[in-house]
Chains A and B, each alone.
Chain A
Amino acid sequence: MLRIIDQYAFANRLRAVDPLHKAALAGMTILLCLILDRPLVGWLALAWMVTVMVWYARVPLRVVGAVIGAESVFLALSVIGIAVSVGSEPPPAALLAIPFGPLWLSATGASVQTALHVLGRALGSAAALNGLILTTPLIDLIELLRRLRAPVLLIELMALSYRALFVLLDTLDQMVTAQTARLGYASWRATMRSSALLGSRLFIVAYQRSQALEMALTARGFAGDLRVLPLSYTVDRQLWLIGVMIGGSLVVAGWWT
């Protein structure tokens, strides 16, 4: 999933747009989802964000669906606790009541409504964040943090971690293939042993790579900080217009529903 998100973040139509604008759009949507405490707002934000990602940024619907679907499962499991209550007898206005030994699992109209409200709010906010990460590569987000004057150490750690992540994922893939080719995962016992060896070997490889990286940085004049040129971006006026429409519609939904 990480690689897929990264791939579309680089390949979508909003790739070159200033990350500050995209972050502002996502931030505004999240803020409105949190401030305007109405059920429709979250669901409307979700619909808007899916539309922007699929129709405007041209991220395939199946990718957007997979990302939001995965989050929906977690969120739905979390709100079950709000919708369902446990008691010695079912409430009189229960929509659903299931006996469970001496207890009753029940859900009322009000509890289901609250659960759906929370779910919509969380999904709307999550979709806004997805809209940002599916259209903005991490390097642009790091660049955005640099422009917002985040601590240099944090930015350098993020940049190095992001780069190292893919190098180590490739190494991990190669090691797993090499182990599989030698029946490393043919049984439960072999799987346990191979996984342990993989972990320790990966640590050593990471250490060796860090030493080689330090040498390579030194050869290019590294003097304590990773100074690089800033990236350049474009301005998308249509995105601004879409932002105004999203904000306006959410405010209307929040006040008049």
Chain B
Amino acid sequence: MTAVLTLEAVSYHFPGHPTPALQSVSLSISAGRRIVVLGRNGAGKSTLLLVASGIVRPQQGRVWLHGAPVDYSRSGLRRLRQHVGLVMQSPDDQLFSASVWQDMSFGPLNLGLSAEEARQAVQEAAVLCDVTDLLDRPTHALSGGQKARVALAGVLAMRPQCLLVDEVTAGLDLWARQQVVRVFDRLVVAGGTVVLATHDLVLARRWADLVVVLHEGRIVAVAPPAEVWADPALRALIAPPEAWEEP
């Protein structure tokens, strides 16, 4: 399978922090995959997504997009954003506009789409994320689940091939979570890739086809869920024993 995005020996150390957030991380993200990133708080999951999306430039190593190194110039980053979308952990951090319609149109217009093309992209993303009835609503009047779907739709309106999602299902009820996962599925069926950082073991087991385990800024495993679940040493790095007992 062709890699959409490749991280090669990437390291990043936040200034003032005692330990690096990422240490020599290498990962290949292919098209059409459901990838879940697991690890404890501070393991480096969010930093991994920030580096992969070009928000943070690695201090060591390289990021490759479709086999070419990512160029951190304005045009290079625009090209990266055409292919790689990032959904933040808290939708309130992402939704900047007072209206859902206007917020969703922000990304497509930044990609240089015309007003008509942007309008179409917004409509398509709204259908994909089931938010068409929310388009004329104010963002502050949405529920948590609706905000999560609108935040997702705002990124999908840019039609990325690879979607990086940072714990967006945290705090959602089971119905809202199911709706979000359905959006991920539609994207994967259409040939896209979803990389989801989460603590939700049930979702990881049932939904992912590949699990990346991060520990103290290093990737310790990249394997199908069954293999990770069968390895007591890996399980111990992800969650305490009682978290693995299925209800």
A residues near B (Cβ < 8 Å) are: 6-7, 10, 137-139, 142, 159-160, 162-163, 166-167, 170, 209, 212-213, 215-223, 226-229, 231
7 contacts between A and B (CB under 8 A): A163-B95, A166-B140, A216-B94, A217-B96, A221-B81, A221-B158, A227-B109
Task: Report the separation of the CA atoms of residues A44 and B77 in the bound assembly, to the nearest whole angstrom.
Answer: 60
Q: Closest CB-CB distance, B25 to chain A, in whole Å?
A: 19
Q: Closest CB-CB distance, A151 to chain B, in whole Å?
A: 18
* CB within 8 Å for A163 and B88 given contacts A221-B107, A228-B105: no
Given contacts A221-B111, A228-B105, 14 further A-B contacts (CB under 8 A): A139-B98, A159-B98, A163-B139, A212-B88, A212-B93, A216-B86, A216-B88, A216-B94, A216-B96, A219-B85, A221-B158, A222-B106, A223-B110, A229-B105
Residues of B70-118 at the interface with A, using a CB-CB cut-off of 8 Å, are 74, 77-78, 81, 85-86, 88, 90, 92-99, 101-103, 105-107, 109-111, 115, 118
* CB within 8 Å for A167 and B138 given contacts A219-B55, A222-B110, A229-B105: no
B50 close to A (CB within 8 Å): yes
B119 close to A (CB within 8 Å): yes
Q: Closest CB-CB distance, B127 to chain A, in whole Å?
A: 17
* CB within 8 Å for A229 and B109 given contacts A159-B98, A219-B86: yes
Residues of A within 8 A of B139 (CB): 163
B51 close to A (CB within 8 Å): no
Residues of B175-216 at the interface with A, using a CB-CB cut-off of 8 Å, are none
Taking a contact as CB atoms under 8 Å apart, the answer to whether B93 and A209 are in contact is yes
Quick one: closest B residue to A166, CB to CB? B140
B32 close to A (CB within 8 Å): no
B23 close to A (CB within 8 Å): no
Interface of chain B, main secondary structure: helix
Taking a contact as CB atoms under 8 Å apart, the answer to whether B138 and A220 are in contact is no
Quick one: closest A residue to B154, CB to CB? A220
B53 close to A (CB within 8 Å): yes
Task: Report the separation of the CA atoms of residues A16 and B119 in the bound assembly, to the nearest whole angstrom.
Answer: 19
Residues of B within 8 A of A220 (CB): 81, 85, 106-107, 110, 154-155, 158
Q: Closest CB-CB distance, A229 to chain B, in whole Å?
A: 4
Taking a contact as CB atoms under 8 Å apart, the answer to whether B140 and A159 are in contact is no
* CB within 8 Å for A167 and B92 given contacts A220-B110, A226-B106, A228-B109: yes
Pick from A137, A218, A221 the residue with the most CB of B within 10 Å: A221
B239 close to A (CB within 8 Å): no
Count how many pairs of residues, one from A and one from B, have CB atoms less than 8 Å apart in the complex: 99
Residues of A within 8 A of B150 (CB): none
Residues of A within 8 A of B93 (CB): 209, 212-213, 215-216
- Tell me the count of chain B residues lying within 8 A, CB to CB, of chain A: 41
* CB within 8 Å for A229 and B119 given contacts A142-B98, A167-B92, A215-B88: yes
* CB within 8 Å for A228 and B53 given contacts A163-B98, A212-B93: no
Residues of A within 8 A of B81 (CB): 219-221
Taking a contact as CB atoms under 8 Å apart, the answer to whether B92 and A228 are in contact is no
Residues of A within 8 A of B94 (CB): 213, 216
Q: Closest CB-CB distance, A1 to chain B, in whole Å?
A: 16
Bitwise interface map of B from 39 to 57 toward A, beta carbon under 8 Å scored 1, else 0? 0000000000010010100
Residues of B within 8 A of A162 (CB): 98
B122 close to A (CB within 8 Å): yes
B226 close to A (CB within 8 Å): no
Taking a contact as CB atoms under 8 Å apart, the answer to whether A228 and B50 are in contact is no
Taking a contact as CB atoms under 8 Å apart, the answer to whether A229 and B122 are in contact is yes
Pick from A139, A218, A220 the residue with the most CB of B within 10 Å: A220
Q: Closest CB-CB distance, B77 to chain A, in whole Å?
A: 8
Task: Report the separation of the CA atoms of residues A166 and B99 in the bound assembly, to the nearest whole angstrom.
Answer: 13
Q: Closest CB-CB distance, A239 to chain B, in whole Å?
A: 19
Residues of A within 8 A of B101 (CB): 229, 231
Quick one: closest B residue to A229, CB to CB? B105
Quick one: closest A residue to B107, CB to CB? A220
Taking a contact as CB atoms under 8 Å apart, the answer to whether A226 and B140 are in contact is no
Residues of A within 8 A of B111 (CB): 221
* CB within 8 Å for A163 and B55 given contacts A217-B96, A229-B109: no
Taking a contact as CB atoms under 8 Å apart, the answer to whether B115 and A160 are in contact is no
Task: Report the separation of the CA atoms of residues A160 and B92 in the bound assembly, to the nearest whole angstrom.
Answer: 12
**Which 8 A-B pairs have CB atoms at the shortest separation, nearest pair first?**
A221-B110, A166-B140, A212-B93, A229-B105, A228-B102, A220-B107, A219-B86, A216-B94
Taking a contact as CB atoms under 8 Å apart, the answer to whether A227 and B119 are in contact is no
B88, B98, B109, B119: the one within 8 Å of A219 (CB): B88
